[in-house]
Structure 1
Amino acid sequence: MIKPVRLFAVIAPALALAATAAGAQTRHNSNAPIDFGADHIELQDKANRAILSGSVSVKQAEMTLNSARMTVAYTGQVIDGSPQVSRLDASGNVVVTRPDQSARGQYAIYDLNRRVITMLGAVTLVQAGNTVNGGRLTINLDTGRAVIDGSSVGGSRPGPDGSTTTTPGGRVTGRFSVPKRN
């Protein structure tokens, strides 16, 4: 039997790592220009949006967002020759990468006005060797705080052996790395 004090010594570092995985990010510059690439773009000026499709890649400062398809909504206001982007809606194998963090999901919404990214559908967040899975992930780019819940938005994700596993509805799961001790 493990003594309670010893068990706490194992759990405490894991909880500290959980806190790190959930939010020790630096502030993102959401005012930086947005560079993009895609196989196809359709501009819908009257609707103030652009539809990007085929290997979409969007980069802003040190953050990259990749997906199969993305709708870029803009205000119609043009400053310094550029439309003012207000929201990005991504779908299809969405991956958000930041310097020490990556997240995967089926869908993502980047609200530039609120400086929040919301990801849905079989979400996986990886940071510093820690992995957390759930139905919905919200990342506040000002604070770096990441919150995952077991939202009923399910889906499937690739398993470690390449098979597909179904996300259990309503559960957050994960694995925290534990530093080696003497």
Structure 2
Amino acid sequence: MRRLVLLVPLLLASAAGAQRHNSDAPINFAAGAIELQDRANRAVLSGDVRVQQADMTLTAERLTVAYTGQVLDGSPQVSRLDAAGGVLVRRPEQTARGNYAVYDLNRRLITMVGDVTLTQGSNTVNGGRLTINLDTGRAVIDGSAVGGSSAAGGVRQQGGRVTGTFSVPKRQQ
């Protein structure tokens, strides 16, 4: 199967130079319920979950927070967030949507899969998988990743295409 990859640095970096995301900032959350699973070093949040870190917000129906066994300043060290159900990631001037997302705090990467849409202004790119490097602001959209939900509630394969719309500046006459 042919894989199409589109590099979209302009969608994630402003022309004046992208500000690096502060992955060391505290993670604040709100949810309908939380289940702490200390022996497994994780917490499961459900019900209209909202996570805020610096200038980035993630919302989803369900979120699993994995943390290391280490405690620093009285808090467990979060290493990974797994989000499912209508995932939305907002950063200044950018929005990404997908069915699932993984935020690897150690690698500073967000990977989204399933009917992914990345939007900045009037520019939109759609695909099956999106990887955002929070250090560089670089995004890679892959059209051949697993796509959205089928009518039976399963997962279907994308057609292998990345699609989108880029705005064109108005020309003076």
- TM-score, normalised to structure 2, is 0.86
Residues 137-161 of structure 1: per-residue CA shift (max 9 Å, x gap): 000000000110102311159xxxx
Pick 1 or 2: higher relative contact order, CA cutoff 8 A, min separation 6: 2
The counterpart of 1:178, out of the listed 165, 168, 171, is 168
Unaligned runs of 5+ residues in structure 1 are 1-17, 158-165
The counterpart of 2:11, out of the listed 6, 14, 21, is 21
Aligned length: 157
Contact kept? 2:66, 2:78, Cα under 8 Å: yes
Distance 1:39 1:101, change over 3 A: same
CA distance in 2, matches of 1:152, 1:146: 15
Match of 1:13?
none
CA distance in 1, matches of 2:33, 2:171: 52
As a proportion of its length, which structure holds more helix? 1
CA distance in 1, matches of 2:147, 2:10: 25
Residues 75-95 of structure 1: per-residue CA shift (max 9 Å, x gap): 011111111000000000000
Q: Residue 139 of structure 2 aligns to which amino acid in structure 1?
A: A
Distance 1:76 1:168, change over 3 A: closer
Match of 2:38?
45
Q: CA-atom RMSD, angstroms?
A: 1.7
3-state SS of the aligned residue for 1:154?
strand
The counterpart of 1:151, out of the listed 130, 134, 144, is 144
Contact kept? 2:144, 2:157, Cα under 8 Å: no
Q: Residue 96 of structure 2 aligns to which amino acid in structure 1?
A: A
As a proportion of its length, which structure holds more strand? 2
- TM-score, normalised to structure 1, is 0.82
Is 1:110 paired with 2:100? no
* Consecutive aligned runs of 4 or more in structure 1 exceeding 6 Å deviation: none
Kindly name which structure, 1 or 2, has the bigger radius of gyration based on alpha carbons: 1
Match of 2:60?
67
Distance 1:84 1:19, change over 3 A: closer
